[in-house]
A and B are shown apart, each in its own frame.
Chain A
Amino acid sequence: MIPVNYYLALSAVLFCIGALGVLVRRNALVIFMSIELMLNAANVAFVAFSRQFGHLDGQIMVLFVLTVAAAEVAVGLAMIVAIFRVRASINVDELNQLRG
């Protein structure tokens, strides 16, 4: 069997890729996809730990993460649509009205 550490390392790499995507991309849709990737990385870790300790609770957590992700994507995309209607853009760099 593959040691759990390997999965965790994979999870970390995927998470970092997602984080990098959030930080460097300006397209709001891609940023959302990167967030999905980060959540997915967390899921990998959950399932790996669940496997290691033989408890199904980890998998249940994945279930809840899935639910939250679905809700988040729905609301987030709705916000993007609403913003696009006003600004005709999905570039997050153009949304800096909160500048101090």
Chain B
Amino acid sequence: MTAAPFITFAVLAAVAVASGLAMMLSQNSVYSALFLVINFTVVAVLFLVLGAPFIAMLQITVYAGAIMVLFIFVIMLLGGERLPAPQQRLRWQQSLAVVLVLALLALAGYVFAQGAAPAAVLADPQQYGSPAALGMLLFTKYLFPFEFTSLLLLVAMIGVVVLTAVEERRRRLPRASRRT
């Protein structure tokens, strides 16, 4: 195993983990969002390394772009970048959560350690992971699920509109009482 890919992976992985931790620990929501953008970007590079350029592009545009912009927009809208004097109610939960998550990590590590010797990564075909190959698969084998996602997005859109729309009806109600 040559060292170069390994070093690349190690650096990227370290950045990803560090940005994730920083996202989690940061008290300012805006910082959390920005750390998450770093994390997504690093993961997108990892996708490129793994031969998935199309997914990597999607990761950048959808996650790091659209979704995170939405997050920051909401944070700014609500002024929720800092919680006002958070009153810690569930102290015991913090430590229990850390213990449980560490246990989960330990279990995962044990599973990977127990796993068989890493299978040889297949030879990299020329067109592997190209947008054309992916599109071919998406519009043949996964046509129905793909069409279904459009329905899902539509439903989500309607839901969002309903949830955030200011109800007009409430304003009209008092009129009836004015008549008297």
A and B interact: yes
- Residues in chain A within 8 A of chain B (CB atoms): 1-10, 12-21, 23-30, 32-34, 36-37, 40, 43-44, 47-48, 50-54, 56-57, 59-60, 62-64, 66-75, 77-82, 84, 90-91, 93
Q: Closest Cβ of chain A: how far from B24's Cβ, in Å? A: 4
- Residues from chain A with a CB closer than 8 A to the CB of B108 are 9, 12, 15-16
> CA–CA, A41 to B31, complex, Å?
20
Q: Is the interface of A mostly helix, strand, loop or mixed?
A: helix
- Chain A residues with CB under 8 A of B46: 7, 10, 44, 47
Complex CA–CA separation, A18 to B105 (angstroms): 12
Interface residues of B (CB under 8 A from A): 1, 5-6, 9, 13, 16-17, 20-21, 23-24, 29, 32-33, 36, 39-40, 43, 46-47, 49-52, 54-55, 58-59, 62-63, 66-67, 70-71, 74-75, 77-78, 80, 83, 86-87, 89-90, 93-94, 97-98, 100-102, 104-105, 108-109, 112, 115, 118-119, 121-122, 125, 128-129, 133-134, 137-138, 141-142, 145, 149, 152-153, 155-157, 159-160, 163-164
